[in-house]
Structure 1
Amino acid sequence: MTDFLTNDINIKIIKFIQSFSNPILDRFAELITMMGEEAFFILVIAILFWCVNKKFGYRLGFTLLSSMILNGAIKGTLKVPRVFGTEGIRTLRIETATGYSFPSGHTQGVTTFWTSVMSNLKRRWTYVVGIIIIILVGLSRIYLGVHRPVDVIGGIIFALIWVVVANKIFDYLEYSGNKEILLIFIIPIIIGLFVFKGHDYYTVSGTVTGFVIGYIIETKYIKFNEKASVLGNILKLILGIAVVLLIKVGLKKILPGYLISDFIRYVFIALWMTVGAPYLFKKLGIVASH
């Protein structure tokens, strides 16, 4: 299996794409690849959840986070090595390429994100923008020399499949009203902590765990209304993101440098986004009343 995923045709394609390299394309690829990174997803989901459409923010957050859990589990199982160090291939933005290679996490994340947007909003512009961004992010990972073409294709395929599955799960949750059933997902996630010893898996596991618990608490007890004035929405984002950064950086300095610390940090980030921030916004009176 590993031989198939690392065969010579992948290397030839990378070299061909990198044959067009120049400083402008380098910068463009680095900017594009950021659309598949953690900071982008946190900001967009925060805007959706706190300011635009809480219901869709929950669905998108669950779909994206669970897709990245799947990505981490597949990577940790197959253990396909990165292309780093291969003769004739240069690597840029290597700090974004953690863990194993197959499937591409950036590509799977951005495909999950935009496919979820397309399937739920069903607007023409979402299909055009989404497809273009998915293709560009996938190409950027190959151009930057951090992934093989097969990694990118794998990320797209797994994302497309998972969006269908996740939509079915969330449709059931909304129809049945039995949101507590999501707690079942935490069991295999926790078991995975003993199997997949990687930073990426621990951070996304913590995020999913906090998200699920926060989703249940918020929808049951807080019942946050995301509607607010323009000024109110700006204030929500400033306060909310500031605390996200405080938790992310502050807890990293306080907690010991173990993988479980990454898990704990991201549990708190997700709980803040789903419970802490909505509760604070209500208390401060910067949201509309039901």
Structure 2
Amino acid sequence: MDLAMGNTFYFDFEVAFMQLLQSIFGGFALSVISFFSYFGEEMVLVLVMGFIYWGYDKKMGNYVGTSILLGCVLNPLLKNIFVRRRPYFDNPQIKCLRPVEKNADIYDIAAQGFSFPSGHSTNSVSAYSSMAKYKKNKVLLGIAIVMPLLVGLSRMTVGVHYPTDVLCGWLSGLVVVFLVSFLQNKIPEEKEWLLNLIIFLIAALGFFYCKTDDYYSSLGLLGGFFLSREFDKLVVHFRNSKKPVRIIVRVIAGAALFLALTKILKMPFSSEFLSSPTLAAYCVRFLRYLISCFVAVGVYPLIFAKFDKFWKEEA
């Protein structure tokens, strides 16, 4: 991969600050701070969304899920505009301690992705702030403040994001949270489908210029989630469960179904085609994630009533 690809721009203080962080955190402390990156990763947050939507509160799950997935789409939309290179690409004094793609060359920009803004920072704010805003709970508010700070700190410490990546990631996450809240409060529930359609069509503008896999998988998830919401209103009408064991079973089974579907839908295609930077490959990726999300989030809850009946009989 040509290292000339992408744009280089940063402030000197950013490099100095990242060097300071890497000099402070080492050994066990580095492992601890690096661990917080997991709390901003898409799959972890999708599981959180599933826990809320399938188990705790469907309406809250709709708001949190829309915020998370819209944040996941917004990030690559911006990254593919700014195409900022990772800090360690242009600053040898900064070490890459946690590459985005562990099995690829750390200087492969196609595999490691662009830097601005930080996706983990966007995701952590859109997820935890949307929960706090919906519930207006002091504990959740504390989590909404502390968790993004730790996630952002971890991304700078491991050398994959500049401070301005993190700051703008936090800002874009907040924009998503308040925008989704504003729109959902203004649009009556019977018109929610129209709001979701407009959001999706605007998000789909990335088809004209995005060249990274994360955009197409995120857009597929967003589309699948919106379709699932309408399918539930028309057909499923599943009920939430306040029983922790039932919720855990729902989430584990749903996550397993989703992961299995994404693998199965890859089988008709060669690995060379799927990894190729072509519109056809991107469309296949988009459809894989849309179908997998729709089946796992929309169709799968059809069996919840049978699950609940089984639990009652066992009791």
- Using the size of structure 1 for normalisation, the TM-score is 0.91
Quick one: which amino acid aligns to residue 81 of structure 2?
T
Q: What is the deviation of 1:62?
A: 0.4
Q: What is the deviation of 1:10?
A: 1.1
Q: What is the deviation of 1:285?
A: 4.4
The match for 2:192 among 159, 179, 186 is: 179
The alpha-carbon distance between structure 1 residues 154 and 180, as it changes in their structure 2 partners (threshold 3 A), is same
Please list, as runs of the form range in 1=range in 2, the aligned pairs for 1:75-224 lying within 5 A after superposition: 75-85=79-89, 86-95=91-100, 98-173=112-187, 175-181=188-194, 182-224=196-238
The alignment's C-alpha RMSD in Å is 2.2
- 1:90-130 CA distance string (max 9 Å, x none): 11221258421111000011011111111111111112222
Question: Which residue pairs with 2:286 in the alignment?
Answer: 263
Name stretches of at least 5 consecutive residues in structure 2 with no aligned partner: 1-6, 102-110, 275-280
Quick one: which amino acid aligns to residue 200 of structure 2?
I
CA distance in 1, matches of 2:92, 2:189: 55
CA distance in 1, matches of 2:245, 2:301: 16
134-143 or 162-171: bigger deviation? 162-171
The match for 1:64 among 61, 68, 71 is: 68
Contact 2:132 2:141 in 1 (8 A): yes
CA distance in 2, matches of 1:138, 1:249: 31
Quick one: which amino acid aligns to residue 286 of structure 2?
F
CA distance in 2, matches of 1:44, 1:189: 23
Would you say how many aligned residue pairs link Structure 1 and Structure 2? Answer: 286
Identity fraction in percent? 25
CA distance in 2, matches of 1:68, 1:124: 26
Q: What is the deviation of 1:286?
A: 5.0
Contact 2:74 2:203 in 1 (8 A): no
CA distance in 2, matches of 1:112, 1:51: 20
The alpha-carbon distance between structure 1 residues 137 and 33, as it changes in their structure 2 partners (threshold 3 A), is same
Q: What is the deviation of 1:287?
A: 9.2
Q: What is the deviation of 1:60?
A: 0.4
Contact 1:186 1:209 in 2 (8 A): yes
Name stretches of at least 5 consecutive residues in structure 1 with no aligned partner: none
The alpha-carbon distance between structure 1 residues 170 and 22, as it changes in their structure 2 partners (threshold 3 A), is same
- Using the size of structure 2 for normalisation, the TM-score is 0.84
Please list, as runs of the form range in 1=range in 2, the aligned pairs for 1:206-285 lying within 5 A after superposition: 206-227=220-241, 229-256=243-270, 257=274, 258-285=281-308
CA distance in 1, matches of 2:55, 2:221: 20
The alpha-carbon distance between structure 1 residues 21 and 231, as it changes in their structure 2 partners (threshold 3 A), is closer
